[in-house]
């Protein structure tokens, strides 16, 4: 194989962006061989765009299974409603087809072990579209913490309230912001990137207490405002605050350790590095009001992250050359576990321990699906088809 033949299922906002990416030649050694969507007008758009760019027209399908069995693709890029991510992914792996999946990996963790096991049994590549892992500053934070430059970790606070969305956004699709159609709100749609980075940089919490508010700022049935508190095995704590209802919003990630703190906000990263370890200073000083000298370092990085295109290129290179994946598929369960725990904590009005088998979350979610006002049948009639949806 000298080129990877991709098939894209779901030509919504994200799917159409991926079409452009391949057709415009942004992903080297990859070709768009097929597309799939249940809406004819989306397939017509692909035809028109390819003709405009002088690109060979890919095979057209309105049934994902038929695309998987066509023999025309080596890899599938899944960009359909969240509930269908593991459904189509498992079907692809059963046919020895590589899978690159949009975030999140799914709606509920109970469904994910089978997805991961199918990947392992197939021997195929499994990647996730966690494009923010390509951000050079987040990579630098990850590497600095892994190298112990912050000492022992104490606290992580992420205020991520610049996901503003209007009512028109939620009205744009009958599946949006419904339990049956989307499976959640800001935690499942906008914040999978942040939750993934949270655990990737700071680690997985051992328990969570969260307060989700449903339809607080919009006429929707799912959460659009969240405040969560987490505890970690080493005694560290974390706070995560997000919403789609504030403007202007904030995106500030602050991580504290015994050797200072890292602050990612705006266009830069600052490291407040203490001269000595705070724990050592605390034990040895005889000054009750002592202060530790520190320096403020503007952390420099080289280049910019390539976002979605870099993930697609990395996935292609992994298949062709064995390049390590930036976002391995099996890691997707971690951020989803945090999201499910936050929701379950709210529903139970209690702490939730991690790891969690997901059974209790699934039971609570089922009750909400029964009364969901979804206007489009996402889980039933189109469960074996693609959809014109996006993340």
Residues 248 and 346 in one domain: yes
Residues 93 and 128 in one domain: yes
Helices 13-23 & 40-53, crossing angle to 10 degrees?
A: 20
Q: For all residues of the chain together, what is the average pLDDT?
A: 94
Residues 200 and 165 in one domain: yes
Residues 241 and 140 in one domain: yes
Question: Is residue 76 helix, strand or coil?
Answer: strand
pLDDT grade, residue 384 (50/70/90)?
very low
Residues 269 and 312 in one domain: no
Beta bridge partners of 210: 228
Average pLDDT over residues 284-288: 96
Domain limits at 206? 135-305+335-369
Q: Which DSSP category does 377 fall into?
A: -
User: Which phi and psi angles does 253 have, rounded to 5°?
Assistant: -115, 120
User: Which phi and psi angles does 4 have, rounded to 5°?
Assistant: -95, 125
**pTM listed for this prediction:** 0.93
Instruction: Count how many domains the chain has.
Output: 2
Rounded distance between C-alpha atoms, residue 107 and residue 232, angstroms: 24
- Which tokens hold the place of 132? 């923010």
Rounded distance between C-alpha atoms, residue 350 and residue 43, angstroms: 47
Residues 189 and 64 in one domain: no
Residue whose C-alpha is closest to residue 113's, from 363, 339, 357, 327? 357
Share of the chain above pLDDT 70, in %: 96
Helices 332-348 & 192-202, crossing angle to 10 degrees?
A: 110
Check whether 388 has a pLDDT greater than 50: no
Domain annotation covers residue 278 = yes
Question: Residues 216, 217, 218, 223: is their CA dihedral positive or negative?
Answer: negative
Residues 60 and 201 in one domain: no
Residues 320 and 356 in one domain: no
Domain annotation covers residue 388 = no
Domain annotation covers residue 228 = yes
pLDDT grade, residue 250 (50/70/90)?
very high
Note whether 140 and 266 are within 8 A (CB).
Answer: no
Residues 180 and 42 in one domain: no
Residues 261 and 194 in one domain: yes
pLDDT tens per residue across span 120-159? 999 999 999 999 999 999 999 999 999 999 999 999 999 9
Q: 259: domain CATH number?
A: 3.30.360.10
Measure the N-to-C terminal CA separation of the chain; round to a whole number of Å. 31
Domain annotation covers residue 83 = yes
Beta bridge partners of 240: 158, 228
Domain annotation covers residue 93 = yes
Quick check: bond before 355 cis, omega within 30?
yes
């Amino acid at each position: 194989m000298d080129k990877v033949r991709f098939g894209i299922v779901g030509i919504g906002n994200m799917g159409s962006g991926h079409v452009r990416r391949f057709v415009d030649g942004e992903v080297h050694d990859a070709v768009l061989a097929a597309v799939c969507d249940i809406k004819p007008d989306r397939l017509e758009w692909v035809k028109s765009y390819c003709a405009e760019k002088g690109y060979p027209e890919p095979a057209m399908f309105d049934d994902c299974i038929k695309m998987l069995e066509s023999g025309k693709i080596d890899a599938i890029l899944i960009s359909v409603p969240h509930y269908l991510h593991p459904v189509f992914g498992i079907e692809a792996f059963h046919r020895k087809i590589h899978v690159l999946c949009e975030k999140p990996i799914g709606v509920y963790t109970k469904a994910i072990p089978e997805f991961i096991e199918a990947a392992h049994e197939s021997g195929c590549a499994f990647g996730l579209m966690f494009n923010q892992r390509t951000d050079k500053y987040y990579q630098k934070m990850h590497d600095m913490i892994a190298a112990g430059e912050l000492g022992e970790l104490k606290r992580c606070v992420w205020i991520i309230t610049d996901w503003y969305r209007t009512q028109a956004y939620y009205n744009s699709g009958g599946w949006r912001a419904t339990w049956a159609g989307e499976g959640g709100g800001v935690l499942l749609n906008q914040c999978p990137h942040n939750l993934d980075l949270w655990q990737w940089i700071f680690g997985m919490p051992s328990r969570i207490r969260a307060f989700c508010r449903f339809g607080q700022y919009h006429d929707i049935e799912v959460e659009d405002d969240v405040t969560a508190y987490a505890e970690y095995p080493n005694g560290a704590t974390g706070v995560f605050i997000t919403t789609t209802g504030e403007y202007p919003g904030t995106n500030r990630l602050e991580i504290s350790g015994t050797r200072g703190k890292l602050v990612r906000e705006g266009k830069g990263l600052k490291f407040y590095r203490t001269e000595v370890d705070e724990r050592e200073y605390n034990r040895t000083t005889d000054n009750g009001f002592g202060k530790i000298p520190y320096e403020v370092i503007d952390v420099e990085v080289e280049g910019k992250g390539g976002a979605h295109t870099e993930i697609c290129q990395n996935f292609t290179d992994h298949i062709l050359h064995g390049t390590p994946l930036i976002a391995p598929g099996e890691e997707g369960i971690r951020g989803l576990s945090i999201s499910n725990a936050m929701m379950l904590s709210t529903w139970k009005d209690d702490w939730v321990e991690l790891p969690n088998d997901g059974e209790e979350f699934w039971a609570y979610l089922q009750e909400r699906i029964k009364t969901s006002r979804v206007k489009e049948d996402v889980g039933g009639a189109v469960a074996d088809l693609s959809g014109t949806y996006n993340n």
